[in-house]
Amino acid sequence: MSRYYTRACNFYFGKQSKILVNKKQSIPLHQIKEISFDHVEIITRKKIRKISINKIRNLPKKLKIKINSDLKKIKSKKSNFSNLNFKKIPNILGILNLTPDSFSDGGKFNKKNKGISHAVNLYKNGASIIDVGGESTRPGSKPVNEKEEWNRINKILKLIVKKIPISLDTRKSLIMENGIRLGVKLINDVSGLSYDSNTINILKKYKTPFVIQHSIGTPENMQNNPKYKNELLDIYDYFEDKIKLIRATGIKHNNIILDPGIGFGKNLKHNMNLIRRISIFHSLGFPILVGNSRKRFIKDISKQNDSNGRIGGTMASSIYLMMQGIQILRIHDVNEVMQGIKVFNEIINN
């Protein structure tokens, strides 16, 4: 029997969305009238069928039950956590890399005064929370030990964590626990909680919100010819299985974010298919985070290699992702992206 997946599509935004929702001609995403949709794609591993929401009632009984179950998750209101406001789309997760070798800004902010100043500026420019990392996970990067990673971040972390909402970008349970004790509001583990077997125990102990990111292999080897049967559905299944595992360990809260991991074990085709149909992940029932900022897919498409010259591609993909209802964008250039979002909202709402 075929496995069915539901993707909300044909989105409306702003004033037009509110009008259609009030007329019951579109369905609001997570009870937000400002973004809604009036079609769904019914997806299997063999075909995709697109239908309007008013034709769901005509589907065979078992399929109709499945689609309506998914729609219930897509429509469900999201509770706020970690200084993220899910009544608005998108929230911005500002990036503070305290590393010498990150792909875009390695060595730029890893001195105390520069790091603190950059965190403050990201927050003032509109980031809801700042993602602090002390270990590069760019393609080809090698792991650093716990002591070195903690030494890179602990002084700056102690100085800003009480003033600015902080997310901690780490794969190691010891670093997580140290950060949580200082007041970190979110754990962002690029390994999908798989790198360190103690991670889940720490997250359960402190009931800390966290991000589950999809990746293949490790940063050292993840770009060595990554393969999928179907990247979109394989990653969807990965999230379902990971959530079941997390529930089985006793983590019952819903303060969980899903990140499909753009660039983490994906080539250009994989990345584009994921971004293009990113709204499929809404039917899992959790907020979605996408790290599109300055990523290699922008270079591959534009043929421009400088990672600092990818703001145009970041902005274009950010607007598209926002219009697919993505709740969180992980961004380097917060001021520029916030400016673009404000201009877009002014155009669409007036």
Q: Which residues are catalytic?
A: 295, 330
Q: Are 132 and 151 in contact (CB under 8 A)?
A: no
307: its two tokens? 């990672």
CA 322 vs. chain centroid, Å, equals: 11
Name the H helices within the chain.
Answer: 14-22, 61-75, 112-124, 146-160, 173-182, 199-206, 231-248, 268-276, 296-302, 311-323, 334-349
- How many angstroms from the chain centroid is the CA of residue 267? 18
CB 131 within 8 A of CB 188: yes
Structural element, H or E, at residue 330: strand 328-331
Cα–Cα dist 63/3, whole Å: 10
- Residue 322 φ then ψ, to 5°: -60, -40
Contact indicator for 274, 260 with CB cutoff of 8 Å: yes
Distance CA(100)–CA(335), nearest Å, equals 23
Identify whether the C-beta of residue 290 lies closer than 8 Å to the C-beta of residue 330. yes
Identify the DSSP state of 17.
H
Cα(318)–Cα(322) distance, integer angstroms:
6
- For 23-43, b/e burial (b = at least 16 CB within 10 A) is eeebbbbbebebbbbbbbbbb
Q: How many angstroms separate the first and last alpha carbons of the chain?
A: 48
